C-alpha cells in the first residue's frame, strides 16, 4: 500500500472556500495517471489553515471519489494530541486506508513526548499510521531510535515519511526498524537515493503536475533499469527545484493554474507568488514541455 508515487494533494479553493468539484477532478486525474496513493491534508494540502470541518470534508471527498481504486492516506496530524486522535478516528470512519501524522509543531516536545504522542494516537485507532518527520516545519527532529521504538511497539505504525533531507538518518531508520517498515521520501529530489537504501517510494509535491514521471522513475528503478531511473531523476530536478522557489504549496498551485488544473489561491499567511519568481516558474514549465513556448 505504501509504495510508488503517492501524491501530496493540494487543496483547491474557489473564492477562498473549498472547491469540492475541483478536488474531485484532481482525484480523477490521479486515478488515470499511475499515482499509487492519494495523500490529502498534508503540508501541500494547507492543512494548517483548514478548519476542522473543512479538513474532515476534504478527507471524505477524496475517499468517496477514489472509491477504493487506490489507497487514501489521510493527513491527520496536529500539535494537539487530542485533535490528532479526533482527526484520525474521523479518517478511519470515513474509509481512509491509512493516516499520515506530522510531528507536533511549535510545542517542541522531547523525544519521549513524541513517542507518547504517537503511541496514544496508535492506541486509539486501528488503521495503519505513517509518521511524518519534517523538522524544517516542526522545529523538532524525530530521531531514528524514536521511530524504531514506535515501529516495534505499535503494530499499526507501519512507515515514516522522512523529510529531514539527511540520507544518513534515513539509512539509520532503515537499519533500526522492522524489515517491512516503509521508508518513504518526503523530498522529491531524494527519491532515487532513498530507493537505493531500501525506500519504498515518495509522498510527492511535483506529482501534482507530473505523476507519470515520478511513477516512471520508481518503476524503472524497481525493474533494475537504473540508467532510465537516473535519466528521469535528472530530468525532474529543475522542475522539483522550481516547486520550492517560494514556500510550498505556492509554486505548485501556481503551476497548476498555468496548466489549467486549479486556481492558484493559497490562504494567508501564504500569498501569491511574486511576479519575478512566477516568470522563473513559467520558464521551467516551458523547458520541461508542460507549457508551449
**Active-site positions?**
132, 161
CA distance 29 to 31: 6
Query: HSE (CB half, 13 Å, CA atoms) of 52?
Result: 11
DSSP of 49-75: GS-HHHHHHHHHHHHHHHTTSS-BEEE
- Dump strand ranges (E) for the chain: 4-8, 13-14, 17-18, 37-39, 73-75, 98-102, 129-133, 157-162, 182-185, 201-204
**3-state DSSP call for residue 185?**
strand
CB distance 244 to 251 below 8 Å: yes
Grid coordinates 474509509 are at which residue?
Answer: 95
Count of C-beta atoms within a 10 Å radius of residue 94? 17
What do you get for the CA distance between the two ends of the chain, in Å?
39
CB distance 145 to 176 below 8 Å: yes
Grid coordinates 524544517 are at which residue?
Answer: 136
Let me know how long the chain is. 293
CB distance 220 to 228 below 8 Å: yes
Using alpha carbons, select from 161, 103, 106 the residue that is nearest to residue 128: 161
Amino acid at each position: 500500500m505504501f509504495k510508488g508515487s503517492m501524491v501530496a494533494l493540494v487543496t483547491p479553493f474557489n473564492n477562498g472556500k473549498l472547491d469540492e468539484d475541483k478536488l474531485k477532478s484532481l482525484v480523477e486525474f490521479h486515478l488515470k495517471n499511475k499515482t499509487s496513493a492519494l495523500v490529502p491534508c498534508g503540508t501541500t494540502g494547507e492543512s494548517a489553515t483548514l478548519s476542522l470541518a473543512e479538513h474532515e470534508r476534504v478527507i471524505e471527498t477524496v475517499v468517496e471519489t477514489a472509491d477504493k481504486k487506490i489507497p487514501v492516506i489521510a493527513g491527520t496530524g496536529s500539535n494537539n494530541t487530542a485533535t490528532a486522535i479526533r482527526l484520525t478516528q474521523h479518517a478511519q470512519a470515513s474509509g481512509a486506508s491509512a493516516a499520515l501524522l506530522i510531528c507536533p509543531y511549535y510545542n517542541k516536545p522531547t523525544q519521549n513526548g513524541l513517542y507518547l504522542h504517537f503511541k496514544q494516537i496508535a492506541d486509539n485507532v486501528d488503521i495503519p499510521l505513517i509518521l511524518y518527520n519534517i523538522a524544517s516545519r516542526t522545529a523538532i527532529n524525530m530521531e531514528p531510535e524514536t521511530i524504531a521504538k514506535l515501529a516495534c511497539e505499535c503494530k499499526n505504525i507501519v512507515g515514516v515519511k522522512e523529510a529531514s533531507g539527511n540520507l544518513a538518518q534515513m539509512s539509520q531508520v532503515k537499519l533500526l526498524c522492522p524489515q517491512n517498515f516503509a521508508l518513504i521520501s518526503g523530498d522529491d529530489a531524494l527519491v532515487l537515493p532513498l530507493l537505493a537504501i531500501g525506500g519504498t517510494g515518495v509522498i510527492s509535491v511535483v506529482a501534482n503536475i507530473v505523476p507519470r514521471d515520478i511513477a516512471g522513475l520508481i518503476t524503472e528503478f524497481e525493474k533494475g533499469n537504473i540508467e532510465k531511473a537516473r535519466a528521469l531523476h535528472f530530468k525532474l530536478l529543475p522542475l522539483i527545484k522550481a516547486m520550492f522557489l517560494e514556500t510550498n504549496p505556492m509554486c505548485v498551485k501556481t503551476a497548476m493554474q498555468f496548466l489549467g488544473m486549479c486556481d492558484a489561491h493559497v490562504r494567508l499567511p501564504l500569498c501569491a507568488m511574486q511576479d519575478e519568481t512566477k516568470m522563473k516558474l513559467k520558464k521551467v514549465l516551458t523547458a520541461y514541455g508542460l507549457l508551449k513556448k
